[in-house]
Each structure stands twice: as structure tokens, then as C-alpha cells.
Amino acid sequence: MKKILILLLVVFAVLAGPGMANASSGIKVTIDGKEQHYDQPPVLVNGRTLVPLRGIFESLGAKIDWNGDTQTVTATRGSTTIVLQVGSKLAIKNGQPVTLDVEAQLINGRTMVPVRFVGEALGAGVNWDSGTNTVVISTQGMTAERRKMSIQEIVAENDHKVVMVITDNNSRASAFAVGDGLFLTNYHVVDEASKAVILTKDKKEYEVQGIVAYSEQQDLALLKTKEKTGIPSVKFGSAKQAQKGEHVIAIGNPLSLSNTVSEGIISSFRQESGVDLIQISVPVTFGSSGGALFNEYGEVIGITTLGIINSGADLNFAVAIDHATPWLETTHQDFDKLEASFPEENAVIKSLKERIKKHVVDGMYKNNLGLSTTEAAMFLELTDETDLKAFSGLSEQGKKRLMLTYTAENWGDVLGVDYCYTYVVYGKKKLVAATITYGMSVDEVELVYPEQ
């Protein structure tokens, strides 16, 4: 019996560690004098009172959207938008990062959030009555409806925050500031770069140290310059709160025409391979990639990414900013200690692509490969043993990127085909093959090795 008692005491001591919630705190919450009753009672964590997410937001008149994939809640009331992520001490209020004393967390199957932050962020008064152990919330003076901004106001506030990214493979695209010396862009802008510079609206250049974080699937990359730029962050909104038909404004560098402003509407919302896309009528062309898409409140809700050329239907797309929200905590880290680099393989891939000898067989013409009129073959010949060793040393992902991007960059040689069978060869030996279709992603490429 004594051993069991000791074991129970040890287990309780472990569970009641310094960050454990005090579920028997007996804390009450009142809003305008009315006591609130939640399915999960308020708890005390590190001296801060946490309450159920849905209960407190809805009690204060906020609309909420929950993203289970990223464990993120976006709440909107009047002119205020709040983004909270479970496990993160970083919140976003009206596009600006705010550090919390205690992160949102799961307790007894409920998402719990710090009541003082939520109440004050929405404009309510929050006080503590120690005599009755009560959090007292007053809604008097809470914020009114959000104010829409004119295009001129949005441009005046954000034009200098949108920059041009110039890489060492002659790519020129767009990016925008999310912190001092930190810029968000599309991953495909820098996926093969080993060097890059940021060119600001006033023609100042800042060398890019490297990539802090990226996602090939979401086509997003966070860049860091070697020194701070003094350019403040844009404000962040949420694509989850946007509506079809809503007016939007884009700032980017189409065809290297710096800081071009365009306007249009949200045509629809799409999801491809788990990525949330905003379909827009705003033109997106070469150089627009990585630009900022603003709502009428001057908040970024998307990253302009793709336009279907010559479709005649204004088919353009932006990746939802919500995918980048988890990275924003990075903007509060010590800048000098923040690690950033370009993948070493990028320089190898660039060198190989410059030296490859290309041979194309188009199925539109008579051929001995059995190709139909909708098929083509592209042979990428490695020129010497040094290149063979370099190619063999690439990761599977690196080989995929080389074959896909080289084929895509030379698609003009096989216009009109649906499939291009791309081979990497050395001498008369086929090293690896892949079937490439126009517009496919690296993750969709499958490598096939010939039997030895």
C-alpha cells in the first residue's frame, strides 16, 4: 500500500509540473456582469487564465474560422482580426505580431486561449477581482466596423514594402517584407538560386543571405538578407475571411516593371494538393510571382503565384497567406542568430544545366522511338565524368528538380505535346528517366532507373 501511495505521489508530481494547468482554480468569468459557463472551466497556466476558444470569441461577438491542419484559429470582429496557433506564443493582431505570455493549448480536448489577450485584443476591458476570483470583462468601447481603405491609401502604406528579387539564374520576381530583413516570396522564384539580391523601390540593393524556411508543396519561401533593411512588415489578414467577389489589389513586378499596382476581384477559392489558392482576376505574369495580394483593409491575404497565359479568362492564382502564418514567429527571433542559406545542390544543378547537351525528338515528326503526335522525348547528355559524378551525387529531389526545370525551360522545343519523356544519359547509357507534363510540380515527378 505504501509503495502504491508513493507511486501515485510521483505520478502527480510529474503531472503537476511548472506548466500544468490548474483545473480546480475555481476562476469565474463575467462579461458585462453576466457569468459565463463553458463546457471546460477556466484554468490557470503560469499565472494566466485560459478559457475555451470558441466560447470566449463568440461571447464577444467575434466570427471564428478553425484550421485543423495547422491548428490555427482566425477570429474577426469589426476592425479587428486575430490569428492564434496552438502551441505558439506568437499571435497576429491586425497583421502585427504579438508575443503572448502563455500559448494557446489543448486541455481536456478543448482549445484554450488566454482570456486577457483575447478580450483586450478585441477592445474589451479586462480586470481581475481577487476577492471573488473573477475575470471581469466589459464590452463598452469595443471596436466598431473595420474601415476600408482606398487603393491610394493601400499603395501609400505598402508600396515600399514590396521588392524585387533578382537571382543568379537571371530570375526577376517579387517579394514583400514580413519583418526587418525578412521577405516572403514563392519558392519557385529561388528554388535553383545560389545567390540573390533584394532590390527596393528606391533602388537600394541588399544581398540575400539565404532561405530561412520553405515549402515546395505550398510554393513559399522566407528569405533573409545579410543586413537589416529597415523596411517594416506588411499587415496580415486571412484568406479564410475573404469572400468571392471581394475587391483585391496586387503589388508586384510583372515583366520587371517594378511596383506595379493592379486591381480585380476574387473569382473563386480552390484547393490543390492541400494548398489553399485564391483565384483572382488580377493579372499575374512573369515577375509577378511572390507579390502581395491585399484586401480592402490593406492586409495581405495571398502571395501572387500563377497566371494561365492566353486563356482569355483571367485565370490567376495566389497562395493563401494562412500557409505562411506558422513562419511569422521567426520574425521575432534574434536577427543575427537566425540561420539562412541556399541549398548546396542549387549551385550544382545550375552548373549542370549550363553544360548539358540537349537532343529532342518530337512525335509530330517521323521517329524511331514510337512517339505519337502528343509525345516527345528529351535527352539530357552529361558531357564528362565530372558532370556524371556531380549528377550522381544529387539527392533524388535534386535530380527531379534538374530534370523538371530543364524540360520546362525548354518546353518551347516540344510545343503541342502532352508528355515529354526526359532522359539523363552519359555516352550511350540511360541513367534515369521521367515523364514530364507541363505545369507539374517536383513532388509529382517519378524517377525510373533502367535495370542494370
- Which of the two residues, 197 and 91, has the higher pLDDT score? 197
| 96 in the same domain as 172 | no
Classify strands 80-85 and 162-167 as parallel, antiparallel or unpaired.
unpaired
What's the CA gap between 356 and 424, in Å, rounded? 9
| Domain count within the chain | 3
In this structure, of 137-146, 252-261, 338-347, the range with the lowest mean pLDDT score is 137-146
Q: In which domain, by residue range, is 122 found?
A: 20-138
Residue 237 grid cell: 489578414
Identify the residue whose cell numbers are 552529361: 382
pLDDT at 141: 66
Inside any domain, residue 450:
no
Inside any domain, residue 6:
no
From residue 248, give the alpha-carbon distance in Å to each of 90, 148, 239, 338, 339.
Answer: 27, 11, 11, 33, 34
Sheet strand arrangement including 43-45: 43-45, 48-52, 110-114, 105-107
| 235 in the same domain as 204 | yes
Inside any domain, residue 451:
no
Q: Which residue, of 342, 361, 377, is where some domain finishes?
A: 342
| 194 in the same domain as 130 | no
Inside any domain, residue 46:
yes
Band of residue 9 on the pLDDT scale cut at 50, 70, 90: very low
Residue 280 grid cell: 483572382
What's the CA gap between 444 and 403, in Å, rounded? 12
| 157 in the same domain as 121 | no
pLDDT higher than threshold 70 for residue 144: no
**Phi, psi values for residue 398, rounded to 5°:** -65, -40
pLDDT at 24: 46
Band of residue 452 on the pLDDT scale cut at 50, 70, 90: low
Give the pLDDT mean for 130-146: 75
Question: What number of H helices and E strands is found in the chain?
Answer: 8, 30
| 94 in the same domain as 157 | no
Give the count of beta carbons closer than 10 Å to the beta carbon of residue 237: 27
What's the CA gap between 383 and 390, in Å, rounded? 11
Eight-state DSSP code of residue 448 = B
Inside any domain, residue 13:
no
pLDDT at 424: 96
pLDDT at 391: 94
Eight-state DSSP code of residue 7 = H
What's the CA gap between 377 and 357, in Å, rounded? 14
Stretch (H or E) spanning 402: helix 396-409
Say what percent of the chain tops pLDDT 70. Answer: 91
Band of residue 71 on the pLDDT scale cut at 50, 70, 90: confident
For the segment 168-179, what is each residue's pLDDT rounded down to a tens digit? 878 899 999 998
CATH number at residue 27: 3.30.457.10
What's the CA gap between 133 and 117, in Å, rounded? 18
Inside any domain, residue 14:
no
Band of residue 145 on the pLDDT scale cut at 50, 70, 90: low
| 317 in the same domain as 168 | yes
CATH number at residue 257: 2.40.10.120
Hey, is 182 helix, strand or coil?
A: strand
Band of residue 59 on the pLDDT scale cut at 50, 70, 90: confident
Q: Which residue, of 297, 325, 342, is where some domain finishes?
A: 342
Q: Which residue, of 342, 364, 386, is where some domain finishes?
A: 342
Give the pLDDT mean for 39-60: 87
pLDDT higher than threshold 80 for residue 112: yes
**Average per-residue pLDDT for the chain:** 86
Q: Are 263 and 247 in contact (CB under 8 A)?
A: yes
**CB under 8 A, 24+ apart: contacts of 273-276:** 273/217, 273/441, 273/443, 274/69, 274/217, 275/217, 275/218, 275/219, 275/319, 275/320, 275/323, 276/239, 276/319, 276/320, 276/322, 276/323
| 321 in the same domain as 227 | yes
pLDDT higher than threshold 50 for residue 113: yes
For the segment 350-389, what is each residue's pLDDT rounded down to a tens digit? 889 989 999 999 888 888 888 898 899 999 999 999 999 9
